[in-house]
Amino acid sequence: MEPLVGGSPETSMSPETVTTALEAETNERILTFIRPTDTGNVKANSTSGPSSSNSSAADLIACSEDLLTEIFLRLPVISLIQLTSVSKQWNLFIKSSSFCLLRNPNPDPPSGLFFEGWDARYKYHYVPMDFGNLVNRPPFTTLRFDSGSIKILQSCNGLLLCANDFQKYYVYNPTTNRFTTLPQLNNFNPDGICCMTLAFDSSKSSHYKVVCNYMYRVMMIEIYSSESGKWKISNESTDDLVDLDRGVYGHNAIHWMSFPNRLVYLKLDSEQLHYIDIDTPDTTVYGTILDEFLAESREGMLLVVRCCRFRRLNVYEIKKDYSEWSIKYHVDLEEVIRVYPSMLTRLGLHFMVQSLVLGGREEDSFIVLELPGKLIQYKFVVNTISQLRDFTTESRRCVHGGFFPKTIFQLSDFTRENRRFINGSCFHFIPSLAGV
């Protein structure tokens, strides 16, 4: 594991105080941790009753690992990163493997989105999604781990899969500012194209895997494990119809869309490939699906299908056992059209699904849509719209679209050849203490 040389999100997002509440039976103690003074002292104020003293509370916090664990497990990851600067003891405790194992099964929701910008090569724009305003500034705008510029390939539960211009690949945690360099493939071909997908779920393991598809006589698969630190050649091989650059991890499997209307998935435990038809009313009535968005749900995998004729999105779910497709949501777009009428043209609706996030409650679930010049959050259950970014106010060049002018297509442009531009280059930022 290698530290990133340069600015750290720990220093760029540290407030002066962090306050949290710890409930104990019928009373509540409010603990405010104050940044150390120049002398390096740690101050803690506690109010649990009229007879409480600052010194006793500070001693209690400093000496009780159980109490620290109880408090820190209730804090968001960004707050924990900020608290590592309070003292050496807290820094070691928060970054310890024992605490990370306790904290990792409780991932935070996405705090924001990274978009690859059109204004500079491999420059990333950060769009916060306003979960308590914990992150007001981007953790980075460009990445430079090694020689060459760094490009984000995928985000997965707090980790980013990246690559440079020389086909070196990295797994990076933007929260802890750490990265690791992946070893060379067994059948490395400098002239070939590798399509990689990251698989990580902190609730199941502290380790991650990377699946690579590449052409070597046939379409081959290699699997990297962070536990072994090695690539392993799989006995399976994919066909050339799989949309390789859009793999999605979920429920211990990598999923790809295959043309036409087929879901391909690789189970990581058995390392076996499976193929299943996408049997939904949209495929039955309208034929080939040319625009889709794949995401993980708690019960299985979600498929978001554009249904422009009815001005809505249909969200289908397939269970973990891949037994059947069922409708999960009908996302009515009429309210969005009313607020943003410019998305409606004589050729149809101009928009793209950039993200789908399922909240802890149904009413907290939302989709992120890119419209011509706008990026919005739509909570479709409660029918509320929030504008995340207005591109047209940032640059005159944005009037033709968002970060990617190429992504705003006419309906006649939704073909297999340009599908790779649709719903692409958007990555979640999920605060995480996971090691790489």
Residues 13 and 72 in one domain: yes
- Residue 364 in domain: no
pLDDT of amino acid 229: 95
Q: Which residues contact 27 (CB under 8 A, 6 or more apart)?
A: 48, 49
Do the domain assignments include residue 305?
yes
Q: How far is CA 231 from CA 166, 199, 235, 265, in A?
A: 19, 14, 13, 19
Residue 398 lies in a domain: no
pLDDT tens by residue, 123-141: 788 888 765 555 556 778 8
Q: pLDDT tens digits, residue range 407-419?
A: 433 333 433 333 3
pLDDT in tens, 386-400: 998 887 665 444 333
Last residue of a domain, one of 52, 81, 103: 103
What the block records as the tokens of 346 is: 């004589």
Residue 227 lies in a domain: yes
Of 115-124, 252-261, 263-272, 335-344, which range is least confident?
115-124
* Amino acid making up residue 115: F
What pLDDT is recorded for position 62? 57
Nearest alpha-carbon partner for 271 in 204, 217, 199, 205: 199
> Tokens at residue 102, please?
């306790």
Residue 61 sits in the same domain as residue 154: no
Q: How confident is the model at residue 162 (pLDDT cuts 50, 70, 90)?
A: very high
434 lies in a domain? no
Last residue of a domain, one of 60, 83, 103: 103
In a domain? residue 46: yes
10 Å CB burial of residue 43 (0-12, 13-18, 19+) is middle
Same domain, 14 and 88: yes
Do residues 59 and 120 share a domain? Answer: no
Q: pLDDT at residue 313 above 60? A: yes
- Burial (CB count within 10 angstroms: exposed 0-12, middle 13-18, buried 19+), residue 429: buried
252 band by pLDDT with thresholds 50, 70 and 90: very high
* Same domain flag for 126 and 197: yes
Q: pLDDT grade, residue 152 (50/70/90)?
A: very high
One domain for residues 134 and 16: no
pLDDT for 115 equals: 83
pLDDT at position 237 over 70:
yes
Based on the fold, state whether residues 137 and 60 are members of the same structural domain: no
3-class SS letters over the chain: CEECCCCCHHHHCCCCEEEEEEEECCEEEEEEEECCCCCCCCEEEEECCCCCCHHHHHHHHHHCHHHHHHHHCCCCHHHHHHHCCCCHHHHHHHCCHHHHHHHCCCCCCCCEEEEECCCCCCCEEEEECCCCCCCCCCCCCCCCCCCCCCEEEEEECCEEEEECCCCCEEEEECCCCEEEECCCCCCCCCCCCEEEEEEECCCCCCCEEEEEEEEECEEEEEEEECCCCEEEEEEEECCCCECHHHCEECCCEEEEEECCCEEEEEECCCCEEEEEECCCHHHHHHCCCCCEEEEECCCEEEEEEEEHHHCEEEEEEEECCCCCEEEEEEEECHHHHHHCHHHEECCEECCEEEEEECCCCHHHCEEEEEECCEEEEEECCCCEEEEEEEHHHCCHHHHHCCCCHHHCCCHHHCCCCCHHHCCCCEEEECCCCCCC
pLDDT at residue 148 greater than cutoff 90: no
pLDDT of residue 302: 92
User: Is the distance from CB of 96 to CB of 88 less than 8 angstroms?
Assistant: no
**Burial grade of 14 (CB within 10 A; 0-12, 13-18, 19 or more):** middle
The pTM of the whole model exceeds 0.75: yes
CB atoms within 10 A of CB 88: 11
State which residues form the domain around 27: 2-103
Residue-level pLDDT at 416: 38
Segment 315-339 mean pLDDT: 91
Q: Are residues 26 and 77 in the same domain?
A: yes
User: Does 209 have pLDDT greater than 70?
Assistant: yes
Sequence-distant (6+) residues with CB within 8 A of 278 are 261, 262, 263, 289, 303, 316, 325
The reply to whether 223 and 327 lie within a common domain is yes
The total number of structural domains that make up the chain: 2
The percentage of the chain sitting over the pLDDT mark of 90, rounded to a whole number, equals: 23
Nearest to 370 by CA among 56, 116, 195: 116
Tell me the C-alpha distance between 221 and 238, whole Å. Answer: 8
Distance in angstroms (rounded) separating the CA atoms of residues 337 and 33: 46
Last residue of some domain: 52, 83, 103?
103
Weakest-pLDDT range from 54-63, 180-189, 410-419: 410-419
Nearest Cα to 165, choosing from 229, 110, 122? 122
Same domain as 69, residue 167: no
How confident is the model over 212-237, as a mean pLDDT?
88
CATH number of the domain where residue 155 is located? 2.120.10
| Residue 269: inside a domain | yes
- The whole-number pLDDT of residue 405 equals 39
Residues 143 and 78 reside in one and the same domain: no
Residue 381 lies in a domain: no
Q: Distance between CA 331 and CA 351 in Å, rounded?
A: 14
Q: What are phi and psi of 204, to 5 degrees?
A: -105, -35
Using alpha carbons, list the distances in angstroms from residue 39 to 35, 36, 55, 93, 160.
11, 8, 17, 21, 38
Instruction: Name residue 318's amino acid.
Output: I
Residues 124 and 77 in one domain: no
Tokens of 396: 């005159």
Name the range with the highest mean pLDDT among 86-95, 105-114, 161-170, 308-317.
161-170
Comparing C-alpha atoms, which of 368, 367, 352 is closest to residue 414? Answer: 352
